[in-house]
Chain A
Amino acid sequence: MPGLEDLYREIILDHYRSPRNRGELETPPAVRVEGFNPLCGDEIVVTIDVQDGVLADIKIAGTGCSISQSSASMMSAAVKGKSVAEARDLIATFKGMMSIHEATLPSGAGDAGTIEETEPEAIDIDALGELAALQGVVKFPVRIKCATLSWNTLAQGLDEAASPV
């Protein structure tokens, strides 16, 4: 049975208590995307400023639990200043760490009892840096949506930045 320390690593609590890159960028030029977690009603707002294929700036607003907030905070720190391609790779790697489980979950719900614990394979955990601390979340399947919320929202934002409507 996974313990709380698997979920609430110190680095996670640190990002939760002092989130990085809080706020919203001015739109335009920034792109603004909202993400919702239907399970808990949490809402995240990601604003990104993409210039010449580089994610020049990112800010996070909205409310959420410690997992969603710290994941968003770490994400913002990790992708800021990276190229869009690098950011997309990171999204893929992060979601890979979570996805084996996420894919088996219906939206917004999960039954911990029926989901096997699988170690993520072929994922370059090292590439994730401190984000790897969120790995413990996979042992708490209902919380995976919390961890991936900001990443899905960012992915959507990158799509929108690539093809402005």
Chain B
Amino acid sequence: MAELTGTRSPTATLDAATLAKDFPLLTREIHGRPITYLDSAASSQRPTAVLDAMRNYDETTHANVHRGVYTIAEEATRRFEAARTNVGRFIGAPDPGREVVFTKNATEALNLVAHTWGRTHLGRGDVVVLTEMEHHANIVPWHMLAAERGIELRWIPIDDDGQLVLDDLDAVLDGAKLLGVTCMSNVLGTLNPITELAAAAHAAGAVVLADACQSVPHLPTDVASLGVDFLAFSAHKMLGPTGIGVLWGREELLAELPPFLGGGEMILDVRKDGFTPNDIPWRFEAGTPPITEAIGLGAAVDYLRAVGMDAVRAHEISLTAYALDALNERFGDGIRIFGPSDAEARGGVLSFALGEVHPHDISQILDQYGVCVRAGHHCAKPLMRRLGVNSTARASFALYNDERDVDTLVEALDEAKKFFA
């Protein structure tokens, strides 16, 4: 599982407190206290560089793309397509200009695969393998396809440490047409052994769809070494804006897929008796795309690249280790932290149960201390059932968080515990 866990590079460092100054929102006060933002797994904050890039585009260059021949329309198209290649390079796409499809978000990217690839490759009795830790976005599209055409869903279970149980992998994958797997759990933080899983899936003749929502923002990503066929993620979890997500797909797979939505942009020709779809990636981008957002995503990628994904990963390993220690030390048996106990085996996402205090109540009390954490099922209800809970509280980190944020969290949790004791 080496490829996703990243390694602690001795030269890769970052100073979170300095980086935090790049994020205007982080200067806010909540109930008279400085904000402690620990919900980046849901959505991250945006640095000035991203906000400025979007504003600059809007103020100087905006026009519709792929349409006009006038100067700003050409510039807009160039900047939009440059963002696409930039994003593709960031994840190691062999052909970044053709393999990166812009979508509304990761959810739409995953649905795009179910809709186009699924409808052309899956029929009654065909097997799709998912894991127990998938986000609803990588479950429900397959349920919908199951209802529509009778495909069968199989599940890779997890163990009590929050790791996938791979003992029966070959049997589970036997006859499967697709494996849908998250690179990193948005609840447990677990980093899955994607390279190993992809190799096993390919050996079984299955295509691999990876949900990289939580990994692309926090770890170096290289689609070639991961060996997956499709990869989905959202800009708003990687310092970019909402309204844009990405589906990366291997060129030869994308090239044979039918269009997703129909309309402008996705066609080469339209006649009264039919239409000819456009080339990839535009075939999957019907209508005016999120142009400003693509510029923002490109700027977010530039920002992450400048900080260095190795440094981001190293920082988050040490912060996660610090948080695990601090929480266990303060609350002992009074806290149940879900997912791997080893910080190197997980990302900076900590879901927990604090005694009997309900996650909603925890989150409400924490808010009084300016601490933003998530409470709920995190769109992973099958996983919640496996864990035997309805919901968890979740604190998640990004490159702008540091140990002081963890200290504030621990103090605020202590208050919540006292309040409901």
Chain A residues near B (Cβ < 8 Å)? 1, 3-4, 7-8, 13, 16, 39-43, 63-67, 69, 140, 143, 146
By a CB distance below 8 angstroms, the chain A residues around B358 are 63-66, 69
For residue A54, give the distance in angstroms from its CB to the closest CB of chain B. Answer: 33
Q: Which of chain B's residues has its CB closest to A7's CB?
A: B364
Q: Are B390 and A40 neighbours in the complex by a CB distance under 8 Å?
A: yes
Q: Does B381 contact A (CB under 8 A)?
A: yes
How far does the alpha carbon of A39 sit from the alpha carbon of B374 in the complex, in Å?
11
In the complex, A140 Cα to B365 Cα: how many Å? Answer: 12
Contact partners of A13 in chain B: CB under 8 A: 420
Distance in angstroms from B93 CB to nearest chain A CB is 34
Which of B376, B377, B381, B420 contacts A66 (CB under 8 A)? B420
Task: A40 to B359: give the CA distance in the assembly, Å.
Answer: 8
Contacts of B365 in A (CB 8 A): 4
CB neighbours of A43 from chain B (8 A): 390
What residues of chain A lie closer than 8 Å to B391, measured between beta carbons?
A: 40-42
Q: What residues of A have a CB within 8 angstroms of the CB of B419 in the complex?
A: 4, 8
Given contacts A1-B31, A40-B375, A41-B384, contact A143 B360 (CB under 8 A): yes
Contacts of A3 in B (CB 8 A): 368
Given contacts A1-B31, A41-B376, 19 further A-B contacts (CB under 8 A): A3-B368, A4-B364, A4-B365, A4-B368, A13-B420, A40-B359, A40-B360, A40-B377, A41-B390, A41-B391, A42-B391, A63-B390, A65-B358, A66-B361, A66-B420, A67-B361, A143-B360, A143-B364, A146-B360
Q: Which residues of B contact A1 (CB under 8 A)?
A: 31
Residues of B within 8 A of A143 (CB): 360, 364
Q: Which residues of B contact A69 (CB under 8 A)?
A: 358
Q: Looking across the interface, which residue of chain B has its beta carbon closest to that of A8?
A: B419
Chain B 265-283 interface 0/1 with A at a Cβ cutoff of 8 Å (1 = within): 0000000000000000000
How many pairs, one residue from A and one from B, have CB atoms within 8 Å of each other in the complex? 46
B interface residues, Cβ below 8 angstroms from A: 31, 358-361, 364-365, 368, 375-377, 381, 384, 390-391, 419-420
**Inter-chain contacts of A65 with B (CB < 8 A):** 358-361
- Interface pair A41/B381, CB less than 8 Å apart: yes
The 9 closest A-B pairs by CB, nearest first: A65-B360, A41-B377, A65-B358, A41-B390, A41-B391, A40-B391, A40-B376, A66-B361, A65-B361
Q: How far is the CA of A65 from the CA of B376 in the complex (A)?
A: 11
| Nearest CB on A from B76, distance (A) | 32
- Expressed in whole angstroms, the minimum distance between the Cβ of B421 and any Cβ of chain A is 10
Residues of B within 8 A of A4 (CB): 364-365, 368, 419
Chain A positions within 8 Å of B359 at CB level: 40, 65
A-B contact pairs, 21 of them (CB 8 A): A1-B31, A4-B364, A4-B368, A7-B364, A8-B419, A16-B420, A39-B376, A40-B375, A41-B376, A41-B384, A42-B360, A42-B391, A43-B390, A65-B361, A66-B360, A67-B360, A67-B361, A69-B358, A140-B364, A143-B360, A146-B360
Residues of B within 8 A of A7 (CB): 364
Asked whether, in the complex, the Cβ of A42 is within 8 Å of the Cβ of B390, the reply is yes
A1 to B33, CA, bound (A): 13
- A65 to B368 CA separation, bound complex (whole angstroms): 17
Most buried by A among B384, B390, B420: B390
- CB-CB under 8 A from B381, the residues of chain A are 41
Bound CA–CA A8/B391 (angstroms): 20
Assembled-state Cα–Cα distance A140/B364 (Å) = 9
- For residue B363, give the distance in angstroms from its CB to the closest CB of chain A: 9
Can you name the residue of chain B whose Cβ is closest to the Cβ of A146? B360
Q: Would you give the shortest CB distance from B364 to chain A, in whole angstroms?
A: 7
Q: Which of A1, A39, A65, A67 has the most CB of B within 10 A?
A: A65
CA–CA, A4 to B377, complex, Å? 24
Residue of B nearest to A69 (CB): B358
From residue A94, how far is it (CB to closest CB) to chain B in Å? 20
A136 shortest CB reach to chain B, Å: 12
CA distance A39 to B375 in the complex (A): 9
CB-CB < 8 A to B420: which residues of A? 13, 16, 66
Name the residue of chain B whose CB is nearest to the CB of A39.
B376
In the complex, what residues of A have CB within 8 A of residue B368's CB? 3-4
Would you give the shortest CB distance from A24 to chain B, in whole angstroms? 17
